[in-house]
Amino acid sequence: MAELRLIDLVVGTKLPELSIDITPRLIVGGAIASRDYQNVHHDKDAAQALGSPDIFMNILTTNGLVGRYVTDWAGPAARLKKVDIRLGAPNFPGDCMTFSGEVQACDNATGEVTVAIAGNNQLGPHVTGTVVLHLLA
């Protein structure tokens, strides 16, 4: 991957899409890694008792995937400054979430780039929001 440079970015630059298969292992592993032991993230029977068809992804896992999406695009010369997301439709096992993004703002004086992101599954938007990153180079 070529290193991302602020000078090469313009408002409207599209990030490449990234599709992620939502597996039970991803959902449960993300919940455990983030110390979220709420049963709806690992116990199908408990989730169904609360009206959900299956276990579902927690917001901390989603937040991590958003960060991965943007930093994979931006490369090692970027640092996350702010992640501002909103959840929508849940991610269930068997879903495929596809991320897309677009540069909203570039500030050459500060090195900051603002990216609008969306992660959609077959139910609609799972996550939407913005990420502000700082390009070091």
pLDDT at residue 48, rounded to an integer = 96
Mean pLDDT of the chain: 94
Find the domain containing 108 and state its range.
6-23+57-135
Q: Say which residue, 25 or 110, is predicted with more confidence.
A: 25
Residue 98 makes CB contacts below 8 A (sequence gap 6+) with: 17, 18, 19, 20, 119, 120, 121
Q: What is the rounded average pLDDT of the residues 71-76?
A: 93
Is 29 inside any structural domain?
no
Q: Say which residue, 77 or 92, is predicted with more confidence.
A: 92
Q: Are 58 and 126 in contact (CB under 8 A)?
A: no
Q: Predicted confidence band at 77 (pLDDT cuts at 50, 70, 90)? A: confident
Is 122 inside any structural domain?
yes
Residue 93 corresponds to which tokens in the numbers above?
Answer: 């096992």
Using the predicted structure, report yes or no on whether residue 6 has a pLDDT greater than 90: no
Report pLDDT digits (tens) over 29-66.
999 999 999 999 999 999 999 999 999 999 999 999 99
Report pLDDT digits (tens) over 108-131.
888 899 999 999 999 999 999 999
Is 35 inside any structural domain?
no
Residue 74 corresponds to which tokens in the numbers above?
Answer: 């931006």
- The whole-angstrom separation of Cα 93 and Cα 7 is 40
Q: Strand pairing of 14-21 and 112-121?
A: unpaired
Residue 96, domain CATH: 3.10.129.10
Is 99 inside any structural domain?
yes
Using the predicted structure, report yes or no on whether residue 1 has a pLDDT greater than 60: no
Is 44 inside any structural domain?
no
